[in-house]
Structure 1
Amino acid sequence: MKFRLLFGILLLAHALLLPHLSERLKQRSVEVKLGYIPHPQILKVSVADHSLPVAEAAVMKVLFYFGTLVEKFQENIVIRPEYLNMYRTLETAILLDPYNMDGYYFAQAAFTWEVGRVKEVNRLLEIGVENRQWDYWLPFYIGFNRAYFLKDFAGAAPYMKLAAERSGDPLFAKLAARYFYESKQTDLGLLFLDTIIAQTKDKAIKATYEMRRAALLMVTALEKGVAAYRSARGSNPERIEDLVTEGLIPEVPVDPYGGNFYLDSDGRVRTTSKLAEQPK
């Protein structure tokens, strides 16, 4: 009898409190709902053979959380995202399953443009490059991030080269050659293009590579002329035409991309085309 009475009281209390608790949960900040995830090393041990579904669930958790924030924003409710927690959750998911592409895609989209955490994103992408060895998008992302956000052309070029080798896409090859040039590694750009040209069978694509190679050969000749001028006079030439006057080159070459070669304030060989085809 006492047990039934106690059970009835508990049941009544539950019925009275449930609406209040439900309302509190609805009003709770969305930020809290993402929750936390254990350290990946601890999680690896605890999940054992279930790392793939756990990793997938972690990524989906972040995607759902972020989607909820977007929905709230559309309702004019601005909630500050837990970017650090989101990043750690994605990092854990990627370490559990480095083959899951969704984590890399989201990290690239959410943490570079929106948050500016480019170096952190590149660290995650490096894991993917090492494991997803058929995937050309991941090295492309790293190359793009280094060139566009960090202005690190020397660091970008090898990744664009890798993206070109994995994909066979001429765009990546062009970007790689351009970044080698921008990072004062024109010779590496030429070596890379020689390799790509030898492997390319499509005549149209090969022609684009050969045009870029021709432009880089011109840059190399001009760079050698500038170096010789600097060695003889102890300073950089003021104009690229000075190389002709000094007899270091027979004439200023014609940029195959339709631009004009010139020297910048640091004495570097530049072209107004920026090694990109100009509209006719």
Structure 2
Amino acid sequence: MTYRAPVIILLIGLISYTLLIVPFTSYMRSKPIEEKLGYVPSIKILKPMSVDQKELTAAALVFKVMMYFGDVVGRSQDEGPVVTEQPDLQGMSRLLHGAVQLDPYNMDAYYFAQGFLTWDAGQIKVANDMLQYGMKYRTWDWYLPFFAGFNSAFFLKDYGKAAEFYQRAGKLSGQQLHINLAGRYLQESGHTDLAIAYLTGMVKTAKNEAVKKSYQTRLAAFQGVRRIEQARDRFLAERGNRPVSVNQLVQSGYLAPAPVDPYGGRFFFDDAGKVSTTSKFAFATKNK
């Protein structure tokens, strides 16, 4: 009898936990994304409130964004190429900007902002401004100028500025890749290779699983683009004219198998012969 009481209590506890956790989990998954990100006071209020705990407060803001983004990535994988809601990119940006104002040495904030401000939000200048802000404090960190150099070359087509950033990254890291990029003019034809090299490095160094999955998806898309570009160039060299469609490359034996856009789009050639996709390298949003 003495042993039955603890066992009964344990069973009651497990049953109670199950009864609570199942509906709670369902509720959390069904909550609107915006509600999960939640309200956070402005940085003007947080700074005096944080007093000597600014680093801890900044870390909490970054963690909040990471948890939120992890849920967004999880939903996109569950729902496939069409998602019901777009993430609150503006809210994420606001929290991360607040985090670096509280603690300009917080690397996770810069790393995370680089991931979504560029590819997802298209706010390249905002991303580079934030990275340059971080360079004033993290003077030893080659990642920040490396990110800014990639953004300048790939997105902004500002090769002079890209060379400056890569030169700084090369001096800090001593890596030959950064030194080579600093000394070379990045031409249009090399952009896909540059993106693949960049994303491959980001996948290898990603610490957050949600960020890693996001980079892996984008890397797969660009690898598909590169395969089409290579097939297009072979077709042009051998036949003297550009292919009219990706399907023509497949049917003529230049491209097998046909690349699949992980975002659910369809690859095609634009009027200039450049490889594009109907997804624009982003998951579509389901209309309500």
Normalised-by-shorter TM-score class: 0.5 to 0.7
- Contact map agreement 1:34 1:62 (CA 8 A) in 2: yes
Partner of 2:206: none
User: What percent of counterpart residues are identical?
Assistant: 43
- Out of 44, 50, 55, which is 2:58 matched to? 55
- 1:26 and 1:82 map into 2 onto residues whose CA distance is 16
TM-score (norm 1): 0.54
Partner of 2:158: 152
Q: How many residues align?
A: 163
Partner of 1:93: 99
- Deviations along 1:112-147, whole A, 9 cap, x unmatched? 122211111111111211111110110011011001
Partner of 1:134: 140
- Contact map agreement 1:73 1:79 (CA 8 A) in 2: no
Partner of 2:244: none
One-letter code aligned to 1:54: T
SS at match of 1:49: coil
- 1:156 and 1:27 map into 2 onto residues whose CA distance is 43
- 1:137 and 1:153 map into 2 onto residues whose CA distance is 18
- Out of 117, 121, 126, which is 1:120 matched to? 126
Unaligned runs of 5+ in 2: 1-19, 188-288
Pick which of 21-30 and 157-166 moved more: 21-30
Partner of 2:35: 32
- State the 1:39 CA deviation: 2.5
Partner of 2:72: 69
TM-score (norm 2): 0.52
- Deviations along 1:51-75, whole A, 9 cap, x unmatched? 1111001001001001111222222
Unaligned runs of 5+ in 1: 1-17, 183-280
One-letter code aligned to 1:131: Y
Based on CA coordinates, which of the two structures has the bigger radius of gyration? 1
- Deviations along 1:49-100, whole A, 9 cap, x unmatched? 0111110010010010011112222221532100000000000011111111
CA RMSD of aligned residues (A): 2.4
- State the 1:109 CA deviation: 1.2
- Contact map agreement 1:36 1:85 (CA 8 A) in 2: no
- 1:105 and 1:80 map into 2 onto residues whose CA distance is 21
Q: Structure 1 residues 24 and 137, CA, compared in 2 at 3 Å: closer, same or farther?
A: closer
- 1:149 and 1:170 map into 2 onto residues whose CA distance is 23
Q: Which has the higher contact order (CA 8 A, sep 6+)?
A: 2
Q: Does 1:46 align with 2:49?
A: yes
One-letter code aligned to 1:132: R
SS at match of 2:140: coil
SS at match of 2:84: coil
